Each structure stands twice: as C-alpha cells, then as structure tokens.
Amino acid sequence: MDRPIEKQPGDVDALRELARLWVQSQSVISAYITANVIDMHHAEDIVQEVAQVVAEKFATFDRSRSFVSWALGIARHRVLKYYRSRSRDRLILSEAALVKLEDALGTVESEVEPRRSALRLCLEKIHGRRREVLDLRYSENAKVADIAQRFGMSSDGVFVMLHRIRSMLFACIHQQLASEGVR
C-alpha cells in the first residue's frame, strides 16, 4: 500500500512563493506568448506548458534573478519549440526579436508593479455605491445600461460617475507614486 507523500515545511513555502510569483507575472508571460502566437488556443496551451515547466524547474530558480525574466526565457523556448513543430508555418519573429520582446516585457513588469500597488491602495478608498458601480463595470463586466437600471440612474449618469471615479483613481495613484518617489 502506498503511503501519502509527506510535504516538508520548506516545500509548502516554496509552493506559496511559486504561486505568488506566477500570479504576479502571468499577465506579462501571457502577453508575450499571445504577441508571438496568433492562434489563441495554441497561445493558451503554451501558457499552460510554461506554467508546468516553471513549476517543475522552480527549485532551480535563482532568487537573485527576476522571476519574470526567468519565466519569459522559458516562454521564449516554448514559443520557438511551437514554431519548430509547425515548420510549414512561417516564423513570425526571429529568436533575436523574441529576446528583445522578452527584455522589454521584463522591464515593463518592474515598472508596472508599483502602479498596481498604488491602484490597490486607492481602490480601498472607494466605498458605497461608487464602489459597487466600479466593481460591476470592471470586475463583472456589466454593461452601463444594466448598471444604470440597477441603481435607477441614466446611462449618462453612470458614465459621468465612472469618469469621476477614474479621474479620482488617476489622481490618487499619481499622488501615491509621487509619495514613494516613483515616476
């Protein structure tokens, strides 16, 4: 009879770190892959392959390096493998172009994280009906007309409210970044 594998405390910590890093960088990795693979189904498959390889090789990840750069390197190899397996298709970008795109996305990710943090802080300041309208529109992708009907407002009133909320968020994010010395 097989015994269940016992996880060591370090294993659990490593899994948590992997999950946190993957969630933070998945949008950049997906953007890189979808920019290079036109077929969305194949791109989604490659994202899943990259996630699997990242998980398998996470123990070898050098913590002094950028996780995004490391994962983008894996993504680049997977994209190249995809094009090699489809050799009858024309290669859209050369390997050198893929490396340049990878570097650019790695740079952008490091610039985006302070903005994400500022956005989270600023969103915490929005309450009541304004927060409900914001959540309905952007979290649930509700149509403006549906939001207007739910709150007994005109569609124009919802547009104005959303505009004011976005303006307030923009100012808040700008102020938060300035206070942290981020440009």
pLDDT in tens, the chain (183 residues): 454 444 454 578 888 888 889 888 888 888 888 888 888 888 899 999 999 999 999 999 888 888 988 998 999 899 888 887 776 555 455 667 767 767 776 666 666 778 878 888 999 999 999 999 988 888 888 899 999 999 999 999 999 999 999 999 899 989 988 888 876
Domains of the chain by start residue, with CATH: 1-111 (1.10.1740), 125-183 (1.10.10)
Alpha-helix runs per DSSP H in 93-154: 95-123, 128-134, 144-151
Cα 100–Cα 104–Cα 108 angle in degrees, nearest 5: 170
Give the three-state DSSP class for 160: helix
The rounded distance, in Å, linking the Cα atoms of 89 and 91 is: 6
Q: What's residue 113's pLDDT?
A: 73
Q: Do 101 and 93 form a contact (C-beta atoms < 8 A)?
A: yes
The rounded distance, in Å, linking the Cα atoms of 123 and 76 is: 35
User: What Cα–Cα distance (Å) separates residue 118 from each residue in 3, 17, 60?
Assistant: 47, 22, 32
Q: CA torsion 150→156→161→162, rounded to 10°?
A: 90
Q: Which residues of 146-173 are buried (b: 16+ CB within 10 A; e: fewer)?
A: ebbeeeebeeeebeebbeebeeebeebb
Q: Do 150 and 136 form a contact (C-beta atoms < 8 A)?
A: yes
Q: Say how many residues make up the chain.
A: 183
